[in-house]
Structure formats: structure tokens, C-alpha cells
């Protein structure tokens, strides 16, 4: 070999080892920080869930002293989710649910393949932090009585009552047996009645169970689907939402809409009357997305979510007679989680008003509809909880996962409550701040995205640092990756994502990939949220024409025109609906996309519509089967050439594992390079931290093989 070649090789090896020594951070490191969720509060106390490397524990704090306390002592990544945290009205107990519900076969997820299987059960733990949790019984969705000594929870569609003290005695009892599945339940203000919705297939009814005489009274029974009932402050009336009952062959479409109405019924007579109905099919998402679709305030106002003005907003309407609702926050932005002040005068909420790709907190005076912004800047602030004169909320940034922060209502200064410090393994100083970008799709629709550029000082892919070697013919640009979120009713943001570990980890992985030297673009394609009803319900989306594929192509063009990107080295990755778009890109345009990583994606809408569930949750009717297939990756397999890594848990209850088995077999038969990582007994949102490490590790190796970049080089993270 020519002497110059030896020199080049020597220098290159030196450079590569330099790079290896300067690895800014690892996947384990960027996933090592605690993640706070499920924040709720009562009185002067809040509780929330902390997930740290898969270990889930409940914490509490009281205000105004901001005193922290850990209430549970879980120490292992056991794959058992904690959820439905709810404080007793006196703040003495937290009820919560451990484990996940059963599937159609009656089995709860068991991701560790434990021979003793797994269950979903209700627990309580004292907020003193001095006692072990107490198991109440199999079930979920616990609801406290007003005096804080009784719990109602659901199991198998029926309601159970438990008396709570330092031991669960007597054992919980089934409250009553009613046809259908009982849900949306709550105690009356006097604690002597249980309000509930009884779901019965084509219709549902609102019932009241009287504890004193074990009698059920039905309210305004009709041929519709009555849901989300709430008590009036005096317990003499009930408000609920009414959507039309089903017709033969009608199929659920989670991305569609339906008309809805607000009703009020008199408890004593059972008679009801309509207060308002939506002008169009603006319901559906407005009821299942927010956690409190309908409220009755102490100021005797009904508050409800609706998209009828084109954006997800909260409206108020008087419960006394038919009248026109008032939009409490008119404008071109969306509202998410809310919290009503104890006196009902203020509604606190998270919104992307004036900052489309972030979330900040606001409050609105329900009487005057005057609103004021409470948090701002570069945070991702969500889930407001008001305890006394303190606003507590979930708070993230571009370089910090979601923690807990607070501010007093008299001082705008915000204070981080949890965690007190980030673990040394978490590479906060080495992260890259994503940039907000937009581009236009072929039909002119403006699409938002977040662009992650490799840290400064990182040599362009294939090139050692300037000066080490004479100019080479190596490419002066980087490979790039397009990321697609799932849902699709989701929105990636300019910071750590608040919607559970699934999206927090996706954001973290995009940070890791940028640090590896990839240019990464997270694409907020049509059908997502944050940009209004028309964007979310974009025409011909998904199984009806895959109109969002225009956004995939436009995102690719954006990257190909970026000076840092090698236009011939684009890759795709995404989960669930994002896996669907990844597979669609490789099937339709292997000429554009060099490889992809498809996490539990949908690959055949027509199969899903016929075999997974009636209509596949997207309302895919018999007449739409042909178009549904044409909108799927499976329609273009003959064109698929680029390699793909498929990742799927084989106990997936949201996207059938069969979708991946079928597609991989078909691709293998046409010699497309495929890799698979199958996670036995894992579900859709992987429950084990070690699953996430395995998934992203496999992804890292796959991308390095098909879209290689030299290991990162950069300054060692500043402490
Ligand atoms: C037909 S694709 C199913 C998408 C799936 N929806 C529900 O499970 C999904 O995207 N799930 C996660 C990732 C999400 O809802 O965000």
C-alpha cells in the first residue's frame, strides 16, 4: 500500500479512537433521568408518579412549604405501570392502580414473562410515607367518597366499594350488578349516591345508585350514548353529554367527529332537557382526549371542551336553560389539561397560544373570560394543579425531561421542585436545542417540525476534524433521519415530551441520534394536534388516501435542501402510526429513503379494518377496504428495496403483532434486507426500561450499519 495510504489510515484510526473517547453520551445516559407524570392535588398536597429507569414510585409534596416525601419504595424495573393516582379529599391517602387492564383474552400484560402472571389492582398508601401500600382489590379507576373513608372502583364493568383504613376490612363488595359496563362514576356531594354511566353497546344510560336502599334510578333514558355525568354542587341535578346512539354497521373512527349535546337532568324526577348541541360533528375527540370533558362549577356554570370553532377550547354554558356557550379563550390555539380552582372562579390550563410548538400555563376568569399567561419562555409546561395559593405543574425544557415545578399565585417566579438535581449520568450539557422549522407540502399545507442539528464541532459525516487530514473526497454532509410520532393525534414539541415515557424516550432518542452526527427532523404531519381541527381531521388521511404522505415527501425535500445533509442518505423512523409512515416511505420511495426503523407500525389498513377490530378504530367500512389497502405499505411491496429494522412486542394490544409478522415474511420472500427485534410479552408502549434500551440499542446499530457516521466528537460535557 502506498506510504500516503498508511499515513491516512494511521491518522484515521487516531481520529476514530479520539471520537470514541469523546462520545458525548450514551442511550442509557440520555434515558437515565427521572420522569414525572400523573400529577394531581387536593387541599395543600400534590402527588405524582416518578419513573426512573423503569422504577416507578409515588411522591408527594405539601405547600406552601414545598416539603417532599417518597411514598412507595419500588426498586426494580418490573414492567408494572402505576396509574390513576387520586388523593382522598382529606389528603391522608393516595389511591392508585398497579398493572394494566386485561385484553380480550382476559390477560393483563406480563412483560417480564413472570410465571405467576400479572394483575391490575387498586392500592392505597398513606401520605405519611411511613407505611407500606395496601392492596384493595383487582380493578382500576378508584374514586373517593367526600369524607375520604370509602373508595369505589371498577372491575370487569361492575363497581366495587371498599372501606379504607389501615387495613381493608371488611373486604370490598360489589355495589350492584347492572347490565353493560359501568364507568364515569362519582359520589354525590352528600356521599349517599353513586352517579354512573352504563355502556350497553349501541347506547348508554345515566344511572344513580342509592346506597341507602340499593336502588338504581335512571335519568333521561333514551336511544343515545349518554356519558361523562357530573353532579350539580347541591346534588339535585346532573349534567351529561349526549351523542347519537349507534346505527347498524356504524364503526368507531377515533379520528372522525360526531355531534354532541349538553343535557341537564333532575335527580328527583329523572327528567332531562337539552341545554345546547354542537352545530356539527365537533364531538368525539373533544370528549375522549381531555381528562375532564365536562364540569359543573361552584359558580353554577357548566364547562365543556369542544372544537366547534375550529380549535380545542373550553366553553361555559348556564345549566338552567337552552343558551349559547361562551368560548373562554377565543383564538387560533389549542387547550389541553385543565384544573378548576376550588371556588370555581378560575380555570387553569395548558395551551400553545402564541407558542405553537410548546405548552405554557394560563388561567381564565370563568365569569369575565379574562385570561392571563402564567408561565412562558422555553419550557413545556402542562397539567396545572392549584393547591391553595400555589400553582404546581409538570415542567420540561429542551434539555430537561418532565419534572415538577411551582409558583405562587402572587409571585411569577417559578421554582423547580423535583428532581432536586439531575443524575450525573444524564448528559444535560451535551444536548442540542431543536430548532422550529416549517415547510409546505405539495398541496400547500404548512407543516411544522423540530430540527436537531449535531453539536457544533462535530465533523461532518465521513470527514475527520479539519486540519487532521488533507481534504478528502469523503462526503461533506451528514445522513439525516425523519421521525414520525404516533397517534396520529399527537404533536412533537421544542422540548422533552410530556405525554408519557413513549414520547419522552422518542425525544431523548432524537437527541442521541443528533449527537451521533445525524441531522434529525421530527415531523408534525397532518392528522396531528396543535394546529386546529382542520389539520387534525385532514381530508383523506390514513386509510382514506394517506394524504399525510405529502408531508413525508415534503420533509424529505426540506432535508435534501439543507446544506448539512447528504441528500442521498435519508432514513426514517417512528412508532405505531409513525411506524406506518416509515413503512409507507420505504415501500413507496426506496429511491429516496436509504433505510428505516419501524416500531410496531400498521402495514395493512384493510386487514386491520377486518381482522383487528370492527373498522380498525378508523371506521374502515366494507366499501373502503380497497382504498384502505392502497393507503398501506402492503400495497407497494414490489417497490420496496431499502433495509428495515422491525421492532414489536408480541403482546401488542394497539397494533397487532401480526402486522409485523406478515410484512417481514413478505419482504423476506422478495429479498429485502430486514432485521427484527421482537420483545416477547411486551405491549405497545414498552413497559420495561430494559426493553427501551434494547430497542434503541438495536436501532443505533442498525442505523450505524446502513447510514454510518463516525462516532461523535465534541468537547466533553461541561459539568
Ligand atoms: C392505526 S395506527 C394505531 C396507532 C396507535 N394508536 C393507538 O394505540 C399509536 O400511535 N399509539 C401510540 C404511539 C399513540 O397513541 O401515540
Whichever domain contains 245, its CATH number is 2.120.10.30
135 backbone dihedrals φ, ψ, rounded to 5°: -80, 125
Q: Is residue 518 part of a domain?
A: yes
Note the pLDDT of residue 472: 42
- pLDDT tier at 711 (50, 70, 90 boundaries)? low
The cell for 4 is 500516503
- Taking the alpha carbons of 571, 576, 581, 585 in that order, is the dihedral positive or negative? positive
Q: Which atom of ligand 1 is nearest to the CA of 655?
A: 3
Peptide bond into 618 cis (omega under 30): no
Q: Are residues 546 and 665 in the same domain?
A: yes
Distance 660 CA to ligand 1 centre (A): 15
Q: Is residue 429 part of a domain?
A: no
In angstroms, the CA 71 to CA 396 distance is: 23
Average pLDDT over residues 484-494: 98
Q: Is residue 402 part of a domain?
A: no
Q: Are residues 290 and 439 in the same domain?
A: no
Note the pLDDT of residue 21: 41
Q: Is residue 683 part of a domain?
A: yes
Q: Is residue 554 part of a domain?
A: yes
pLDDT in tens, 602-643: 999 999 999 988 999 999 999 999 999 999 999 999 999 999
In angstroms, the CA 185 to CA 231 distance is: 10
Average pLDDT over residues 327-352: 97
Q: Is residue 442 part of a domain?
A: yes
Q: Is residue 280 part of a domain?
A: yes
Distance 574 CA to ligand 1 centre (A): 11
The ligand 1 site (C-beta within 6 Å) comprises 486-487, 490, 502, 575-577, 580, 602, 654-655, 684
- DSSP annotation of 610: I
Note the pLDDT of residue 265: 98
Q: Cβ(385)–Cβ(41) under 8 Å?
A: yes
pLDDT in tens, 203-229: 999 999 999 999 999 999 999 999 999
Residue nearest to atom 14 of ligand 1 (CA): 487
- pLDDT tier at 18 (50, 70, 90 boundaries)? very low
- pLDDT tier at 477 (50, 70, 90 boundaries)? confident
State the residue range of the domain holding 264.
176-300+318-327
141 or 716: whose pLDDT is higher? 141
- CATH code at position 446: 3.40.50.1820
Q: Which atom of ligand 1 is nearest to the CA of 490?
A: 16
* pLDDT mean across residues, the chain: 93
Q: Are residues 190 and 322 in the same domain?
A: yes
pLDDT of 168 higher than 80: no
Residue nearest to atom 11 of ligand 1 (CA): 487
Average pLDDT over residues 323-333: 97
Longest dimension (CA), the chain: 98
Distance 281 CA to ligand 1 centre (A): 23
Lookup result for grid cell 415542567? 395
pTM of the model: 0.94
Residue nearest to atom 15 of ligand 1 (CA): 487
Q: How many domains in the chain?
A: 3
pLDDT of 189 higher than 70: yes
Note the pLDDT of residue 267: 98
Q: Which atom of ligand 1 is nearest to the CA of 575?
A: 13
Q: Which residue, among 26, 29, 31, has the nearest Cα to 401 in the 3D structure?
A: 31
Note the pLDDT of residue 322: 85
Note the pLDDT of residue 5: 59
Q: Which residues contact 407 (CB under 8 A, 6 or more apart)?
A: 374, 375, 390, 391, 413, 414, 415
Distance 129 CA to ligand 1 centre (A): 36
Q: Which residues contact 331 (CB under 8 A, 6 or more apart)?
A: 311, 353
pLDDT of 20 higher than 60: no
Q: Are residues 562 and 447 in the same domain?
A: yes
Mutate to test the pocket of ligand 1, among 536, 578, 654, 685 (most ligand atoms within 8 A of CB): 654
Q: Is residue 420 part of a domain?
A: no
DSSP bridge pairs for 97:
83, 122
pLDDT of 348 higher than 80: yes
DSSP bridge pairs for 93:
126
Amino acid at each position: 500500500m502506498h506510504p500516503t495510504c498508511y499515513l491516512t489510515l494511521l491518522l484515521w484510526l487516531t481520529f476514530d479512537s479520539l471520537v470514541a473517547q469523546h462520545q458525548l453520551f450514551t442511550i442509557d445516559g440520555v434515558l437515565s433521568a427521572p420522569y414525572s407524570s400523573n400529577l394531581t392535588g387536593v387541599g395543600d398536597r400534590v402527588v405524582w408518579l416518578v419513573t426512573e429507569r423503569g422504577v416507578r414510585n409515588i411522591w408527594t409534596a405539601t405547600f406552601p412549604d414545598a416539603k417532599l416525601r417518597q411514598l412507595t419504595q419500588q426498586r426494580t424495573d418490573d414492567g408494572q405501570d402505576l396509574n390513576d393516582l387520586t388523593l382522598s379529599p382529606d389528603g391522608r391517602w393516595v389511591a392508585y392502580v398497579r398493572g394494566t387492564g386485561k385484553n380480550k383474552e382476559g390477560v393483563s400484560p406480563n412483560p417480564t414473562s413472570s410465571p405467576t402472571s400479572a394483575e391490575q389492582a387498586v392500592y392505597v398508601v398513606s401520605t405519611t410515607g411511613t407505611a407500606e401500600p395496601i392492596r384493595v382489590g383487582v380493578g382500576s379507576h378508584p374514586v373517593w367518597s367526600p369524607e375520604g373513608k370509602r373508595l369505589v372502583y371498577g372491575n370487569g364493568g361492575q363497581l366495587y366499594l371498599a372501606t379504607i383504613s389501615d387495613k381493608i376490612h371488611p373486604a370490598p363488595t360489589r355495589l350492584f350488578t347492572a347490565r353493560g359496563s359501568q364507568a364515569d362514576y362519582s359520589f354525590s356531594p352528600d356521599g349517599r349516591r353513586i352517579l354512573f354511566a352504563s355502556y350497553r353497546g349501541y347506547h348508554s344510560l345515566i344511572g344513580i345508585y342509592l346506597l341507602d336502599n340499593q336502588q338504581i334510578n335512571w335519568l333521561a333514558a333514551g336511544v343515545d350514548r349518554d356519558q361523562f355525568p357530573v353532579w350539580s354542587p347541591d346534588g339535585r341535578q346532573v349534567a351529561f353529554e349526549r351523542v347519537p346512539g349507534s346505527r347498524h354497521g356504524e364503526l368507531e373512527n377515533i379520528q372522525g367527529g360526531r355531534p354532541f349535546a349538553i343535557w341537564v337532568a333532575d335527580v328527583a324526577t329523572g327528567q332531562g332537557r337539552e341545554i345546547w348541541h354542537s352545530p356539527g360533528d365537533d364531538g368525539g375527540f373533544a370528549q375522549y382526549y381531555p381528562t375532564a370533558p365536562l364540569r359543573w362549577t361552584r359558580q353554577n356554570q357548566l364547562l365543556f371542551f369542544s372544537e366547534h370553532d375550529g380549535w380545542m377550547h373550553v366553553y361555559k354554558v348556564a345549566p338552567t336553560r337552552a343558551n349559547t356557550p361562551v368560548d373562554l379563550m377565543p383564538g387560533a390555539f389549542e387547550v389541553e389539561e385543565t384544573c378548576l380552582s376550588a371556588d370555581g372562579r378560575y380555570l387553569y390550563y395548558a395551551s400553545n397560544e402564541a407558542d405553537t410548538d410548546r405548552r405554557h400555563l394560563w388561567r381564565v376568569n370563568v365569569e369575565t373570560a379574562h385570561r392571563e399567561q402564567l408561565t412562558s419562555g422555553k419550557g413545556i409546561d402542562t397539567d396545572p394543579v392549584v393547591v391553595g395559593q400555589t400553582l404546581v405543574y409538570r415542567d420540561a425544557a429542551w434539555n430537561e425531561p418532565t419534572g415538577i415545578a411551582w409558583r405562587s399565585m402572587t409571585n411569577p417566579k417559578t421554582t423547580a421542585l423535583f428532581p432536586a438535581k439531575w443524575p450525573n449520568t444524564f448528559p444535560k450539557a451535551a444536548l442540542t436545542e431543536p430548532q422550529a422549522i416549517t415547510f409546505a407540502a405539495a398541496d400547500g399545507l404548512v407543516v411544522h417540525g423540530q430540527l436537531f442539528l449535531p453539536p457544533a464541532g462535530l465533523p461532518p459525516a465521513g470527514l475527520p476534524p479539519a486540519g487532521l487530514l488533507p481534504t478528502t473526497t469523503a462526503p461533506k454532509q451528514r445522513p439525516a433521519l425523519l421521525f414520525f410520532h404516533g397517534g396520529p393525534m399527537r404533536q412533537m414539541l421544542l422540548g422533552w415530551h410530556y405525554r408519557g415515557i413513549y414520547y419522552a424516550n422518542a425525544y431523548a432518542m432524537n437527541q442521541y441520534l443528533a449527537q451521533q452526527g445525524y441531522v434529525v427532523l421530527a415531523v408534525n404531519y397532518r392528522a396531528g394536534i396543535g394546529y386546529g381541527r382542520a389539520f387534525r381531521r385532514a381530508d383523506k388521511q390514513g386509510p382514506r388516501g394517506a394524504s399525510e404522505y405529502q408531508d413525508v415527501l415534503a420533509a424529505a425535500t426540506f432535508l435534501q435542501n439543507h446544506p448539512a445533509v447528504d441528500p442521498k442518505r435519508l432514513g426514517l423512523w417512528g412508532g405505531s402510526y409513525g411506524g406506518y409512515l416509515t413503512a409507507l416511505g420505504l415501500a413507496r420511495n426506496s429511491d429516496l429513503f436509504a433505510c428505516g426503523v419501524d416500531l410496531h407500525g400498521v402495514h395493512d389498513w384493510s386487514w386491520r379494518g377486518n381482522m383487528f377490530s370492527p373498522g380498525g378504530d378508523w371506521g374502515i367500512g366494507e366499501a373502503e377496504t380497497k382504498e384502505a389497502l392502497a393507503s398501506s405499505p402492503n400495497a407497494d411491496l414490489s417497490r420496496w428495496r431499502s433495509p428495515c429494522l422491525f421492532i414489536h412486542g408480541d403482546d401488542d394490544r394497539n397494533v397487532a403483532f401480526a402486522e409485523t409478522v406478515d410484512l417481514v415474511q413478505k419482504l423476506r420472500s422478495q429479498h429485502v434486507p430486514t432485521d427484527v427485534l421482537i420483545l416477547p410479552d411486551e405491549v405497545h408502549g414498552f413497559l420495561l426500561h430494559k426493553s427501551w434500551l434494547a430497542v434503541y440499542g438495536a436501532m443505533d446499530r442498525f442505523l450505524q450499519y446502513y447510514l454510518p457516521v463516525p462516532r461523535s466528537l465534541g468537547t466533553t460535557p461541561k459539568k
